[in-house]
């Protein structure tokens, strides 16, 4: 973990790429309903907001462990959303 700024950039890039992938799916599948894809976008935005709030929390003891936990949560939430994109039909 380099620093807080890099973690914020990682969070932004991961969820930005996920939302972009959903938009591409929607463009390629215009005849299919977008209820599931819109739910993925909503979950990505909610996860983004949650992780950024956790990064900005200054009342945390043991910052190194805190940021490591945020990084692992980012990875797990990102993978879960990507799996949901792959399951879209």
- Residue 2 pLDDT class (50, 70, 90 cuts): low
User: 53 to each of 8, 36, 89, how far by Cα in Å?
Assistant: 10, 26, 33
pLDDT digits (tens, 9 = 90+) for 3-54: 899 999 999 999 999 999 999 999 998 887 789 999 999 999 999 999 999 9
Whether this prediction's pTM lies above 0.85 is answered by yes
77-86 mean pLDDT: 96
Quick one: three-class SS letters along 3-71?
CHHHHHHHHHHHHHHHHHHHHHHHHHCCCCCCHHHHHHHHHHHHHHHHHHHHHHCCCCCCHHHHHHHHH
């Amino acid at each position: 973990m380099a620093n807080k700024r890099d973690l914020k950039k990682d969070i932004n890039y991961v969820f930005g790429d996920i939302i972009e992938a959903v938009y591409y799916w929607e463009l390629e599948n215009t005849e299919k309903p977008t209820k599931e894809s819109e739910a993925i976008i909503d979950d990505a935005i909610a996860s983004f907001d949650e992780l950024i709030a956790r990064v900005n929390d200054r009342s945390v003891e043991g910052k190194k462990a805190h940021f490591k936990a945020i990084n692992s949560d980012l990875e797990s939430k990102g993978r879960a959303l990507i799996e949901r994109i792959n399951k879209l039909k």
